[in-house]
Protein backbone atom coordinates (compact mmCIF):
# COMPACT_ATOMS: atom_id res chain seq x y z
CA UNK A 1 0.00 0.00 0.00
CA UNK A 2 1.39 3.39 -0.99
CA UNK A 3 1.95 6.04 1.68
CA UNK A 4 -0.43 8.99 1.86
CA UNK A 5 2.31 11.45 2.80
CA UNK A 6 5.84 11.00 1.44
CA UNK A 7 8.60 11.10 4.05
CA UNK A 8 11.47 9.69 1.97
CA UNK A 9 12.51 9.06 -1.61
CA UNK A 10 11.03 5.56 -1.63
CA UNK A 11 7.65 6.94 -0.55
CA UNK A 12 7.70 9.13 -3.65
CA UNK A 13 8.58 6.09 -5.78
CA UNK A 14 5.59 4.16 -4.47
CA UNK A 15 3.24 7.08 -5.06
CA UNK A 16 4.63 7.66 -8.56
CA UNK A 17 4.08 4.03 -9.55
CA UNK A 18 0.41 4.37 -8.57
CA UNK A 19 0.00 7.49 -10.71
CA UNK A 20 1.90 6.62 -13.89
CA UNK A 21 0.78 4.34 -16.73
CA UNK A 22 2.46 0.93 -16.49
CA UNK A 23 4.40 1.44 -19.72
CA UNK A 24 5.71 4.83 -18.58
CA UNK A 25 6.77 3.31 -15.27
CA UNK A 26 8.59 0.55 -17.18
CA UNK A 27 10.42 3.17 -19.28
CA UNK A 28 11.42 5.08 -16.16
CA UNK A 29 12.49 2.17 -13.97
CA UNK A 30 13.84 -0.42 -16.39
CA UNK A 31 17.50 -1.34 -16.51
CA UNK A 32 19.47 -3.12 -19.17
CA UNK A 33 18.95 -6.83 -19.85
CA UNK A 34 18.55 -8.70 -16.52
CA UNK A 35 18.84 -5.43 -14.55
CA UNK A 36 21.73 -6.78 -12.47
CA UNK A 37 23.64 -3.51 -12.64
CA UNK A 38 20.54 -1.40 -12.05
CA UNK A 39 19.82 -3.39 -8.88
CA UNK A 40 23.48 -3.39 -7.86
CA UNK A 41 23.51 0.42 -7.95
CA UNK A 42 21.08 0.47 -5.05
CA UNK A 43 22.19 -2.64 -3.19
CA UNK A 44 25.81 -1.44 -2.97
CA UNK A 45 24.86 1.19 -0.39
CA UNK A 46 23.21 -1.32 1.93
CA UNK A 47 26.40 -3.38 2.15
CA UNK A 48 28.42 -0.44 3.50
CA UNK A 49 28.01 0.44 7.17
CA UNK A 50 28.67 3.83 8.73
CA UNK A 51 30.94 4.49 11.70
CA UNK A 52 29.03 6.30 14.41
CA UNK A 53 31.09 8.89 16.31
CA UNK A 54 29.99 10.84 19.39
CA UNK A 55 30.90 14.03 21.23
CA UNK A 56 32.50 15.63 18.21
CA UNK A 57 32.29 19.45 17.89
CA UNK A 58 29.51 20.34 15.46
CA UNK A 59 29.13 24.09 15.95
CA UNK A 60 28.87 25.99 12.67
CA UNK A 61 28.12 22.85 10.65
CA UNK A 62 27.34 23.32 6.94
CA UNK A 63 27.34 21.48 3.60
CA UNK A 64 28.94 24.13 1.36
CA UNK A 65 31.50 23.01 -1.17
CA UNK A 66 33.52 24.17 -4.15
CA UNK A 67 32.79 22.11 -7.26
CA UNK A 68 35.12 23.20 -10.00
CA UNK A 69 34.72 26.97 -10.13
CA UNK A 70 31.28 26.99 -8.49
CA UNK A 71 30.32 27.34 -4.83
CA UNK A 72 27.35 25.10 -3.99
CA UNK A 73 25.14 25.11 -0.91
CA UNK A 74 25.07 21.30 -0.82
CA UNK A 75 26.53 18.35 -2.74
CA UNK A 76 23.39 17.42 -4.72
CA UNK A 77 22.83 18.00 -8.43
CA UNK A 78 19.87 16.98 -10.58
CA UNK A 79 21.08 14.42 -13.11
CA UNK A 80 20.14 14.73 -16.79
CA UNK A 81 17.05 12.66 -17.58
CA UNK A 82 14.94 12.75 -20.72
CA UNK A 83 11.35 13.85 -21.28
CA UNK A 84 10.08 15.08 -17.92
CA UNK A 85 6.80 15.79 -19.70
CA UNK A 86 6.09 12.06 -19.60
CA UNK A 87 5.45 12.26 -15.87
CA UNK A 88 4.13 15.82 -15.38
CA UNK A 89 2.53 18.33 -17.77
CA UNK A 90 4.95 21.12 -16.80
CA UNK A 91 7.91 18.86 -17.51
CA UNK A 92 11.38 20.33 -17.08
CA UNK A 93 9.92 23.72 -16.21
CA UNK A 94 8.68 22.33 -12.89
CA UNK A 95 11.99 20.59 -12.24
CA UNK A 96 13.86 23.83 -12.91
CA UNK A 97 11.61 25.76 -10.52
CA UNK A 98 12.41 23.25 -7.78
CA UNK A 99 16.11 23.45 -8.60
CA UNK A 100 16.04 27.23 -8.22
CA UNK A 101 14.13 27.04 -4.94
CA UNK A 102 16.62 24.60 -3.41
CA UNK A 103 19.83 26.05 -4.90
CA UNK A 104 20.43 22.82 -6.80
CA UNK A 105 22.22 22.78 -10.18
CA UNK A 106 20.09 21.21 -12.91
CA UNK A 107 21.85 19.32 -15.70
CA UNK A 108 19.47 19.78 -18.63
CA UNK A 109 19.24 16.78 -20.92
CA UNK A 110 19.83 16.94 -24.65
CA UNK A 111 16.50 15.08 -24.75
CA UNK A 112 14.64 17.66 -22.71
CA UNK A 113 11.13 18.46 -23.86
CA UNK A 114 11.59 22.15 -22.95
CA UNK A 115 14.37 24.30 -24.39
CA UNK A 116 17.21 25.45 -22.21
CA UNK A 117 16.46 29.05 -23.23
CA UNK A 118 13.01 28.73 -21.64
CA UNK A 119 14.45 27.27 -18.44
CA UNK A 120 17.10 29.98 -18.28
CA UNK A 121 14.36 32.61 -18.54
CA UNK A 122 12.56 31.49 -15.38
CA UNK A 123 12.53 33.90 -12.45
CA UNK A 124 14.34 32.86 -10.39
CA UNK A 125 16.39 30.76 -12.76
CA UNK A 126 18.38 27.77 -11.48
CA UNK A 127 22.04 27.17 -12.15
CA UNK A 128 21.91 25.23 -15.41
CA UNK A 129 24.42 22.77 -16.82
CA UNK A 130 23.81 21.09 -20.16
CA UNK A 131 24.24 17.43 -21.04
CA UNK A 132 25.56 16.73 -24.53
CA UNK A 133 25.11 13.64 -26.63
CA UNK A 134 27.63 13.52 -29.44
CA UNK A 135 25.79 13.98 -32.73
CA UNK A 136 26.37 12.29 -36.08
CA UNK A 137 28.17 15.42 -37.27
CA UNK A 138 30.71 17.10 -35.00
CA UNK A 139 29.37 20.45 -36.23
CA UNK A 140 25.99 19.60 -34.71
CA UNK A 141 27.60 18.69 -31.40
CA UNK A 142 29.30 22.08 -31.38
CA UNK A 143 26.06 23.82 -32.33
CA UNK A 144 24.31 22.22 -29.35
CA UNK A 145 27.17 23.17 -27.05
CA UNK A 146 27.27 26.81 -28.09
CA UNK A 147 23.48 27.08 -28.00
CA UNK A 148 23.54 25.94 -24.39
CA UNK A 149 26.35 28.32 -23.49
CA UNK A 150 24.56 31.23 -25.13
CA UNK A 151 21.52 30.41 -22.98
CA UNK A 152 23.66 30.60 -19.85
CA UNK A 153 24.78 27.03 -19.16
CA UNK A 154 27.58 27.02 -16.58
CA UNK A 155 29.13 23.72 -17.74
CA UNK A 156 28.77 21.07 -20.44
CA UNK A 157 28.48 17.37 -19.62
CA UNK A 158 29.29 15.01 -22.48
CA UNK A 159 27.70 11.58 -22.02
CA UNK A 160 30.19 8.97 -23.24
CA UNK A 161 28.81 5.61 -22.10
CA UNK A 162 25.90 5.17 -24.51
CA UNK A 163 26.99 5.09 -28.19
CA UNK A 164 24.07 2.64 -28.51
CA UNK A 165 21.16 1.83 -26.21
CA UNK A 166 21.23 -1.20 -23.96
CA UNK A 167 18.73 -4.04 -24.27
CA UNK A 168 15.96 -2.79 -21.96
CA UNK A 169 13.76 -5.89 -21.97
CA UNK A 170 11.34 -4.68 -19.29
CA UNK A 171 10.65 -1.54 -21.32
CA UNK A 172 10.33 -3.61 -24.50
CA UNK A 173 7.81 -5.98 -22.91
CA UNK A 174 5.71 -3.03 -21.72
CA UNK A 175 5.15 -1.79 -25.27
CA UNK A 176 6.27 1.74 -24.33
CA UNK A 177 6.09 4.28 -27.15
CA UNK A 178 6.96 7.96 -26.92
CA UNK A 179 3.73 9.97 -27.24
CA UNK A 180 3.60 12.32 -30.25
CA UNK A 181 3.46 15.45 -28.06
CA UNK A 182 6.80 14.63 -26.38
CA UNK A 183 9.81 15.77 -28.42
CA UNK A 184 13.52 16.28 -27.87
CA UNK A 185 13.44 19.98 -28.68
CA UNK A 186 17.21 20.48 -28.75
CA UNK A 187 17.62 17.95 -31.57
CA UNK A 188 15.21 19.62 -33.96
CA UNK A 189 17.00 20.76 -37.11
CA UNK A 190 20.08 18.62 -36.49
CA UNK A 191 21.14 15.71 -38.69
CA UNK A 192 19.70 12.47 -37.26
CA UNK A 193 21.56 9.17 -37.63
CA UNK A 194 20.58 7.13 -40.69
CA UNK A 195 21.32 3.51 -39.82
CA UNK A 196 21.34 0.92 -42.55
CA UNK A 197 19.06 -2.11 -42.19
CA UNK A 198 20.88 -5.00 -40.59
CA UNK A 199 22.10 -7.57 -43.06
CA UNK A 200 20.00 -10.75 -43.01
CA UNK A 201 22.00 -13.37 -41.18
CA UNK A 202 24.81 -10.85 -40.64
CA UNK A 203 25.86 -8.52 -37.85
CA UNK A 204 22.74 -7.21 -36.03
CA UNK A 205 24.53 -4.01 -34.95
CA UNK A 206 27.90 -3.79 -36.69
CA UNK A 207 26.37 -3.82 -40.20
CA UNK A 208 24.02 -0.87 -39.49
CA UNK A 209 26.63 1.88 -39.47
CA UNK A 210 25.44 3.20 -36.11
CA UNK A 211 28.91 2.94 -34.62
CA UNK A 212 30.63 4.82 -37.42
CA UNK A 213 29.74 8.13 -35.78
CA UNK A 214 30.36 6.96 -32.19
CA UNK A 215 32.54 9.51 -30.33
CA UNK A 216 36.16 8.77 -29.51
CA UNK A 217 38.85 10.34 -27.33
CA UNK A 218 39.89 12.36 -30.38
CA UNK A 219 36.40 13.91 -30.41
CA UNK A 220 36.74 14.80 -26.73
CA UNK A 221 40.01 16.57 -27.51
CA UNK A 222 38.42 18.43 -30.43
CA UNK A 223 35.53 19.50 -28.23
CA UNK A 224 37.90 20.57 -25.45
CA UNK A 225 39.88 22.71 -27.92
CA UNK A 226 36.73 24.25 -29.42
CA UNK A 227 35.23 25.18 -26.05
CA UNK A 228 38.21 27.09 -24.71
CA UNK A 229 37.83 27.65 -20.98
CA UNK A 230 34.23 26.40 -20.74
CA UNK A 231 33.96 23.71 -18.04
CA UNK A 232 33.66 20.32 -19.76
CA UNK A 233 32.72 17.16 -17.87
CA UNK A 234 32.51 13.56 -19.05
CA UNK A 235 29.58 11.46 -17.81
CA UNK A 236 29.84 7.69 -17.86
CA UNK A 237 33.31 6.96 -16.48
CA UNK A 238 33.66 3.65 -14.60
CA UNK A 239 37.22 2.59 -15.35
CA UNK A 240 40.29 4.18 -13.74
CA UNK A 241 42.19 4.06 -17.05
CA UNK A 242 39.39 6.07 -18.69
CA UNK A 243 39.56 8.54 -15.80
CA UNK A 244 43.25 9.08 -16.51
CA UNK A 245 42.55 9.55 -20.22
CA UNK A 246 39.88 12.11 -19.37
CA UNK A 247 42.44 14.10 -17.38
CA UNK A 248 44.90 13.88 -20.27
CA UNK A 249 42.19 15.32 -22.55
CA UNK A 250 41.86 18.32 -20.27
CA UNK A 251 38.33 17.80 -18.97
CA UNK A 252 37.29 19.70 -15.86
CA UNK A 253 35.44 16.89 -14.09
CA UNK A 254 33.98 13.41 -14.48
CA UNK A 255 30.72 11.76 -13.53
CA UNK A 256 31.04 8.17 -12.36
CA UNK A 257 27.92 6.71 -13.95
CA UNK A 258 26.67 3.55 -15.60
CA UNK A 259 23.63 5.25 -17.10
CA UNK A 260 21.43 4.09 -14.26
CA UNK A 261 22.19 0.50 -15.22
CA UNK A 262 20.32 1.04 -18.49
CA UNK A 263 23.14 0.29 -20.95
CA UNK A 264 25.64 -2.53 -20.41
CA UNK A 265 24.36 -4.96 -17.80
CA UNK A 266 26.74 -6.65 -15.31
CA UNK A 267 29.16 -3.71 -15.13
CA UNK A 268 29.93 -2.67 -11.54
CA UNK A 269 27.70 -0.46 -9.48
CA UNK A 270 28.82 3.14 -9.53
CA UNK A 271 29.61 3.01 -5.80
CA UNK A 272 31.69 -0.12 -6.40
CA UNK A 273 33.64 1.53 -9.21
CA UNK A 274 34.15 4.81 -7.36
CA UNK A 275 37.16 4.04 -5.11
CA UNK A 276 39.41 2.91 -7.97
CA UNK A 277 38.39 5.88 -10.10
CA UNK A 278 39.01 8.28 -7.22
CA UNK A 279 42.41 6.70 -6.58
CA UNK A 280 43.28 7.15 -10.26
CA UNK A 281 42.16 10.79 -10.32
CA UNK A 282 44.07 11.64 -7.11
CA UNK A 283 42.18 14.87 -6.60
CA UNK A 284 43.21 16.43 -9.92
CA UNK A 285 39.59 17.01 -11.01
CA UNK A 286 36.27 16.74 -9.17
CA UNK A 287 34.08 13.64 -9.30
CA UNK A 288 30.29 13.49 -9.26
CA UNK A 289 28.58 10.13 -8.79
CA UNK A 290 25.09 9.06 -9.82
CA UNK A 291 23.17 5.80 -9.61
CA UNK A 292 21.07 4.24 -6.87
CA UNK A 293 21.04 7.08 -4.35
CA UNK A 294 17.83 7.06 -2.29
CA UNK A 295 18.96 8.29 1.15
CA UNK A 296 21.14 10.92 2.72
CA UNK A 297 23.26 8.10 4.11
CA UNK A 298 23.87 7.00 0.50
CA UNK A 299 25.18 10.48 -0.28
CA UNK A 300 27.49 10.37 2.74
CA UNK A 301 28.87 6.98 1.66
CA UNK A 302 29.53 8.24 -1.87
CA UNK A 303 31.40 11.26 -0.51
CA UNK A 304 33.37 9.05 1.86
CA UNK A 305 34.58 6.89 -1.03
CA UNK A 306 35.81 9.78 -3.15
CA UNK A 307 32.94 11.66 -4.78
CA UNK A 308 32.74 15.42 -4.32
CA UNK A 309 29.00 15.53 -5.06
CA UNK A 310 26.18 13.33 -6.30
CA UNK A 311 23.53 13.58 -9.01
CA UNK A 312 19.97 12.35 -8.50
CA UNK A 313 18.04 10.92 -11.45
CA UNK A 314 15.00 8.66 -11.10
CA UNK A 315 13.88 9.97 -7.67
CA UNK A 316 13.50 13.46 -9.19
CA UNK A 317 11.06 12.06 -11.74
CA UNK A 318 9.22 10.12 -9.03
CA UNK A 319 8.61 13.30 -7.07
CA UNK A 320 7.77 15.25 -10.23
CA UNK A 321 5.08 12.70 -11.07
CA UNK A 322 3.56 13.01 -7.61
CA UNK A 323 3.47 16.77 -7.12
CA UNK A 324 5.38 18.81 -9.67
CA UNK A 325 7.83 21.49 -8.57
CA UNK A 326 6.71 21.47 -4.93
CA UNK A 327 7.31 17.74 -4.58
CA UNK A 328 10.72 17.87 -6.28
CA UNK A 329 11.80 20.65 -3.93
CA UNK A 330 10.48 18.62 -0.99
CA UNK A 331 12.44 15.54 -2.10
CA UNK A 332 15.67 17.52 -2.36
CA UNK A 333 15.10 18.96 1.10
CA UNK A 334 14.46 15.45 2.45
CA UNK A 335 17.78 14.23 1.04
CA UNK A 336 19.59 17.30 2.34
CA UNK A 337 18.10 16.78 5.78
CA UNK A 338 19.02 13.10 5.83
CA UNK A 339 22.56 13.96 4.79
CA UNK A 340 22.90 16.51 7.58
CA UNK A 341 21.59 14.00 10.15
CA UNK A 342 24.08 11.41 8.89
CA UNK A 343 26.92 13.93 9.07
CA UNK A 344 26.02 14.92 12.63
CA UNK A 345 25.80 11.30 13.81
CA UNK A 346 29.14 10.38 12.26
CA UNK A 347 30.81 13.46 13.74
CA UNK A 348 31.28 15.39 10.49
CA UNK A 349 30.87 19.15 10.89
CA UNK A 350 31.55 19.93 7.21
CA UNK A 351 32.05 17.95 4.02
CA UNK A 352 35.81 18.34 4.52
CA UNK A 353 35.44 15.96 7.49
CA UNK A 354 33.90 13.23 5.33
CA UNK A 355 36.46 10.65 4.28
CA UNK A 356 36.93 6.87 4.31
CA UNK A 357 37.04 6.98 8.11
CA UNK A 358 33.26 7.46 8.03
CA UNK A 359 32.89 3.87 6.80
CA UNK A 360 32.80 1.19 9.51
CA UNK A 361 35.40 -1.53 9.14
CA UNK A 362 34.99 -4.53 11.46
CA UNK A 363 38.75 -5.10 11.55
CA UNK A 364 39.57 -1.49 12.52
CA UNK A 365 42.26 -1.35 15.20
CA UNK A 366 41.23 0.07 18.56
CA UNK A 367 42.72 3.51 19.18
CA UNK A 368 44.28 4.64 22.45
CA UNK A 369 41.00 6.32 23.39
CA UNK A 370 42.16 9.93 23.08
CA UNK A 371 39.78 12.47 21.54
CA UNK A 372 40.00 12.70 17.75
| Residue 54 host element (H or E) | none
The contacts of residue 248 (CB under 8 Å, 6+ apart) are none
With beta carbons less than 8 A apart as the criterion, state whether 83 and 111 touch: yes
311/220 Cα distance (integer angstroms):
22
Task: Quote helix, strand, coil % in the chain, to nearest 5.
Answer: 45, 10, 45
- Would you name the residues annotated as active-site residues? 259
91/332 Cα distance (integer angstroms):
17
Q: What count of residues does the chain have?
A: 372
The contacts of residue 249 (CB under 8 Å, 6+ apart) are 217, 220, 221, 224
Burial class (CB in 10 A: 0-12, 13-18, 19+), 352: exposed
With beta carbons less than 8 A apart as the criterion, state whether 198 and 209 touch: no
Amino acid sequence: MSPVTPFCAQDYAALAQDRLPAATWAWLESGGADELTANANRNAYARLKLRSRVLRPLQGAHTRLELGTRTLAHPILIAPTAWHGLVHPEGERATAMAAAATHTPLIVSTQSGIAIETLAGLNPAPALWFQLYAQTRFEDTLALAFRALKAGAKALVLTVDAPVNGARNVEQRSGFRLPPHIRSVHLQGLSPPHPRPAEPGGHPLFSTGLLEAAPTWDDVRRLRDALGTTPLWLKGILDPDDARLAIECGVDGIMVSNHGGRCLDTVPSTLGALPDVAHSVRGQIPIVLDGGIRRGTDILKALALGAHAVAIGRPILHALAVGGATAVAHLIQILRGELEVAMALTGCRTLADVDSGVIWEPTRKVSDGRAA
